Structure 1
Amino acid sequence: MLRVAVVGSGPSGCYTAQSLVQRDPGVHVDVLDRLPCPYGLVRYGVAPDHEKIKSLQGALRTVLEHERVRFLGGVPVGPGGVPADRLRRLYHAVVYCVGAATDRRLGIPGEDLPGSWPATGFVSWYSAHPDAADAGYVQGGVRSAVVIGVGNVAVDVVRMLARGAAELTGTDIPEAALGALAASRVREIHMVGRRGPSQARFTTRELRELGGLPDTDVLVDPAEAALDPAYRDPAALPAGPRRNVEAVRGFATAPATGAARRIRLRFFLRPVELLPRGGRVGAVRFERTAPDGHGGVTGTGRYEDIEARLVLRSVGYRGVPVAGLPFDATSGTVPHLAGRVLGEGGGVVPGVYVAGWIKRGPTGVIGTNRPCAKETVTSLLADAPVLIRAEPPGDPLPALRAEGVRPVPWAGWRAIERAEAELGGRLGRGVVKLPDWESLLRAAGAASG
């Protein structure tokens, strides 16, 4: 019997576990997660109002309920938890599927002013991540916001800022975030990119959702968008960018209705400084850019200040070093060969693998994790005849407990689900997420062991 530990229970970890048990009937997989809840970014990164995408949890649940897969939540690996070298001795192989845990920075003056935040923190807050804190994102005086970035996370953030209580009450958003967003006075939201609409990273479906928000105008300056060489004749573009340009053109030609909220899509503006006012951010200074003829942009020396008491940067995720593993700081990934971790000298580290964002960087959509996991599993199973010669101890669970952790089993997660349904019932809503460690672990209760 081949015992494998998969560290991380998001899509990458689940697809890795699924591929292992489907391709080898002798494999048993423990899926470990630092959090007591599974599903990774599907639970803590997909916006509450995107219920169709969140329904992917059903497919991931099937994997974690497989008879040869065991979910163990609340098991940190590294400092404060199970040392990586100890984990390796408990299993024939360990696959790290830990994602990209932090955000990219802008690297400009004023970035750390109060009121300036990574979009990842805002997403974690409204998604009830237990490590997230209520930073007062939309406190009373905030009427204008700037979201820097033009990807799907940026669109999610803009949409959540513009939604009202009536549209969010039926979602699983935690009660505190619902109350804060319902009371928000944000009326002007700028989503800003340094290049044009043909090079934006959002998908057309998400972009068009903005146009369907109640009592909200989506505004685009036609002259600004027309700086994009592909804007006037997008026919030569690939399908995705072409549809994006067409959606932007639709917003640019639609008249404003005088709605209560305005979303302004801005292009060819590069942030250069966050300006303070009254002890927090008050505006963002942008430099106008222009296409350089090679797919990039160049500065023009012309500047524009956009008022903002809230700034959310959404310019990408970034991997962080994993304790006990080599790390490439430039790419934010673990060096590997087809998923096999490579040591400092370039040789393969026996029995240690990576999949997902920590392997390839934060690129692709959820489905991209399938072929990525398959490649890693192919490498692992090819190595299995050698790996299985070093027979580890029996069931690793007692040894994990001996390291001072208290794993939350699948039954503990199901107890959390019941508690969230009960909370929603008491509040007159559907399922409502528990937002903190204490309530999650209390809900898991006696089911944890």
Structure 2
Amino acid sequence: MATHKALWKVPMFKFFFTPKGVRGLATFQHACSPKVCIVGGGPAGFYTAQHLVKTRPDVEVDIYERLPVPFGLVRFGVAPDHPEVKNVMNTFTQTAQHARCSFHGNVRVGKDVTVQELQESYHAVVLSYGAEGNRNMGVPGEDLDGVYSAKDFVGWYNGLPRNRHLRPDLSCETAVVLGQGNVALDVARILLSPVDILKKTDITQPALDAVSKSSVRRVLIVGRRGPLQVACTIKELREMVNLPGTRPEMVVSEFDGIAEKLKALPRPRKRLTELLLKAAVETPGEKELERLKSDKQAWGFRFFRSPVEVLPSADHTRVAGIRLAVNRLVGEGEGARAEATGEVEDMECGLVVSSIGYKSLAIDPVVPFDSRKDVIPNTMGRVQNAAGLYCSGWVKRGPTGVIATTMNDSFDTARTLLHDMDKGILDISTAKPGSQGVAALLHKRGVKPVSFSDWEKIDIEETRRGEARGKPREKLLDVGEMLQVAWA
């Protein structure tokens, strides 16, 4: 009996309790439990962590994020006037507060700690760091003042620290957005939205001040293909159509023959095209016509156009217009491609926002990277030729889809990882130090991580500042200030 008592006091065993009772037994007080590290605290990272901790009762997960704040594109990419999309942060918070999940902000993987060092401390490393780079237009004049990538412009009004010094000049009448996806429509909508709507959102105060003084009254949304290939969703298009104080301004001839093709379209594309046709070519009723006449702002799609050159002002310092190649389509439907006709068209504008896509960047020399596709080469989330390395989200498949797409993709990677654990493809028999090993390295290098409870102090402060302005939150824009609040 004494022997049994002595064994019971040694902290070598841990039972895992669930609503169904005892699920299993782990030895050596977590020493031999599978330890997984996730690089990136955005949707892909949190969804991967969520599936891991929910599915396997002994796995421990650490999420490393370069910024002091979590949630990635949900915080910095979702438009301020889409608060319902940001509700997913509640789910991510539950994951971060799970007993077997920890958040470590303010840690730059590839700089503060290498991927190889993470592999030495964890049984598996999942790369979920998204797409931080911009795709260039590759045309003369894109470096002129007044030309911005959509990623930077969105980062500016959403409070991404690296974009806080952006000072877009909104003194022009016409802005051109290149690209016709949801992000392009977000930019157009923010430029034209009534200030009374925006001031009730979490748009940053500098952006709100700039938009309130804006002279932009017309936004043209340019795409290289036609109405049947437009990349936005019907929800985003409907928001543009219903935006107070604005009217659609289309080129009717660009819709020739589209109505005849409606019957053959898949339902989602058909509904989107019907709404687009209604906005472009239908004659409005008398009441609607009166409203449209009083609207002082306009927006519109311009199809079959590709940028050739950004035209400079007389002093060659800033944008004064954009030269567009006129295209024709080769092929049909989603697979149709644009081909230049040789014609060009000049469009006067004082602001150009390029929304032609994000791209992932290589994070560490030890990680394989396809610089042509800008993704980590992988098979079902397993990084090719790199045992113990996995990936999820945009760095896995490219910067496409909505948050639900990322959720499903991340769950797939988590399932692959768990399968590899179960089948012995991933060796979890040897004890790994996990976050303790990484913490020792970071301490030596003078790097202090931000825990999730530290982030909650930032959250409280941002909410307090927002309430003072009648907003849901006022984001801190400077990393130094974030850290000061976190560690207060």
What is the TM-score normalised by the length of structure 1? 0.93
Measured after TM superposition, the shift of residue 68 of structure 1 is: 0.9
Which residue matches 1:129? 160
After superposition, residues 171-182 of structure 1 pair within 5 angstroms as 171-182=201-212
- The alpha-carbon deviation at position 231 of structure 1 amounts to 4.1
Q: Which residue of 1 aligns with 2:91?
A: 59
CA distance in 2 between partners of 1:218 and 1:381 (Å): 50
The one-letter code matched in structure 2 to 1:126 is Y
What is residue 290 of structure 1 aligned with on the other side? 328
- Paired with 2:418 and 2:431, the residues of 1 have a C-alpha distance of 16
For residue 23 of structure 1, the aligned residue among 38, 52, 55 is 55
Structural mapping, 1:330-369, within 5 Å: 330-342=372-384, 347=385, 349-369=386-406
- Within the alignment, does 1:75 sit opposite 2:102 as a pair? no
Q: Distance in 2 between matches of 1:17 and 1:400?
A: 22
Tell me which of 377, 388, 408 is aligned to 2:428. Answer: 388
Q: 1:184-233, CA deviations, whole angstroms, 9 ceiling, x for partnerless residues?
A: 1111111111111110110011011012222111111211222xx54433
Conserved? CA contact 1:217–1:258, under 8 Å: no
Task: Please say if 1:436 is aligned against 2:464.
Answer: no
2: CA distance, partners of 1:143 / 1:442: 41
Q: Distance in 1 between matches of 2:446 and 2:461?
A: 26
Choose the corresponding residue for 2:344, options 282, 303, 311. Answer: 303
Q: What is the Cα deviation at residue 26 of structure 1?
A: 0.7
1:148-190 per-position Cα deviation (integer Å, ceiling 9, x unaligned): 0000000000000001321111111111111111111111111
Structure 2 residues not aligned, in runs of 5+: 1-32
SS in structure 2 of the partner of residue 145 of structure 1: strand
Q: How does 1:187-336 map to 2 (within 5 A)?
A: 187-226=217-256, 229-252=257-280, 253=282, 254=284, 256-278=292-314, 279-294=317-332, 295-323=336-364, 324-336=366-378
| Residue aligning to 1:32 | 64
3-state DSSP class of the match of 2:420?
A: helix
Percent of pairs identical after alignment?
A: 39
What is the rounded CA distance, in whole Å, between the counterparts of 1:201 and 1:111 in structure 2?
23
Structure 1 window deviating more from structure 2 (21-30 vs 399-408): it is 399-408
Q: Is the 8 A contact 2:164 2:477 kept in 1?
A: no
1:374 is the counterpart of 2:420: no
Q: 1:107 aligns with which of 135, 138, 141?
A: 138
Q: Which residue of 1 aligns with 2:9?
A: none
Cα distance between partner residues in 2 of 1:271 and 1:436: 34
Letter in 2 for 1:410: F
Measured in 2, the distance between the counterparts of 1:340 and 1:401 equals 31
- Does residue 183 (structure 1) correspond to residue 213 (structure 2)? The answer is yes
The structure with more radius of gyration: 2
Taking a change above 3 Å as real, the CA distance of residues 193 and 310 of structure 1, as seen in their structure-2 partners, is same
Q: Distance in 2 between matches of 1:357 and 1:134?
A: 26
Describe the SS at the equivalent of 1:189: strand
Q: Distance in 2 between matches of 1:432 and 1:286?
A: 39
Describe the SS at the equivalent of 2:480.
helix
Aligned residue in 2 for 1:414:
456
Letter of the 1:432 counterpart: E
CA displacement 1:246-270 (0-9 Å, x = unmatched): 1111111245424221112111112
Structure 1 stretch displaced more, 357-366 or 385-394: 385-394
RMSD: 1.6
Question: What is the Cα deviation at residue 410 of structure 1?
Answer: 0.9
Is this contact kept in 2: 1:197–1:231, CA < 8 A?
Answer: no
TM-aligned CA distance change 1:310 to 1:96, over 3 Å: same
Q: Tell me the amino acid that sits aligned with residue 367 of structure 2.
A: L
SS state of the match for residue 350, structure 1?
coil
Cα deviation for residue 239 of structure 1 reads: 1.8
Q: Distance in 2 between matches of 1:365 and 1:430?
A: 23
The alpha-carbon distance between structure 1 residues 288 and 258, as it changes in their structure 2 partners (threshold 3 A), is farther
What do the CA deviations read for 1:59-100 (whole angstroms, capped 9, x no partner)? 221211111111111111012x11121111111111010111
Find the aligned partners of 2:446 and 2:262 in 1 and give their Cα distance. 59
- For the residue of structure 2 that corresponds to 1:391, the secondary structure is coil
Write the letter of the residue equivalent to 1:118: S
SS in 2 for 1:194: coil
* TM-score normalised per structure 2: 0.86
The one-letter code sitting in structure 1 at the alignment partner of 2:217 is: R
* Contact 1:197–1:244 under 8 Å retained in 2: no
Give the SS at the match of 2:248. Answer: strand
Amino acid in the other structure paired with 2:63: V
Residue identity opposite 1:246 in structure 2? E
Does structure 1 retain, via aligned residues, the 8 Å contact 2:34–2:59?
yes
1:272: how far off? 1.1
Preserved contact between residue 102 and residue 320 of structure 1 (Cα < 8 Å): yes
- In the alignment, what sits opposite 2:45? 13
Q: Is the 8 A contact 1:144 1:308 kept in 2?
A: yes
Whichever residue aligns with residue 339 of structure 2, its letter is T
Q: Go from structure 1 to structure 2 and tell me whether the alpha carbon gap of 1:194 and 1:413 turns closer, same or farther (over 3 Å shift).
A: same
Match of 1:42 among 71, 74, 98: 74
- Could you tell me whether the CA contact under 8 Å between 1:82 and 1:403 is conserved in 2? no
Letter in 1 for 2:296: A
CA contact (8 A) 2:192 2:246 kept: yes
Letter paired with 2:400: T
The amino acid across from 2:430 in the alignment is A
Aligned partner letter, 2:331: G
- Aligned-partner Cα distance in 1 for 2:410–2:331: 38
